[in-house]
Amino acid sequence: MKIILTAVVAAMFVIPARADEKAVPAPAKSGWSDFFKNLKNTLSQSAVGGERKKGRGAQGVAAVRGEGQAKKNIADPNEPGIKGDSKSAKAKKEMSYDMELEVSIDQLAKGKLEDGLKGLLAFKVAHPKHRTEDVDKAIEGAKAMIAEKDGAPAAPAAKP
């Protein structure tokens, strides 16, 4: 224990800690770019995400002597299911809305701010109830990024 403590103290004296030298900060990146990247990840979904049966895959199997440990009563992902039910229709509809929104988010990420803002505003008019909080925040972010690009300080949005 004393050897470890001595080694730590010696390392502290050998490695000088200078307060006057600070790491050079990376260029300031808009916080909105991270928001748009996370929103894009949220919008992209797995093709089979909604088709898997939930709740039946996690089961425990008791270790009983003489009884086989084969999987029983566990859903097979390759098992055919009912197609065209209302739940899958709703999921497809929401996925198509997400794909529309993703196009505008891509434009914002590529630097086409005006086109992305126009797309977001058109999406909000076409689908006013789909992801309203995300769309409103994305519109606010697009306006802020345009204001930053033009050199004017971004004015915070007034909340009614």
At 25-58, the pLDDT tens digits run 444 456 788 888 888 888 876 555 655 555 555 5
Q: Give the pLDDT score at 114.
A: 93
Q: Which residue type does 21 have?
A: E
Q: Give the pLDDT score at 135.
A: 92
54 in any annotated domain: no
129 in any annotated domain: yes
More confident call, 142 vs 17: 142
Residue-number span of the structural domain to which 105 is assigned:
33-39+84-152
51 in any annotated domain: no
Task: For residue 19, give both structure tokens.
Answer: 């307060």
Q: What letter does residue 52 receive in the DSSP assignment?
A: S
Give how many domains the chain has, as a whole number. Answer: 1
Contact 139, 128 (CB under 8 A): no
142 in any annotated domain: yes
72 in any annotated domain: no
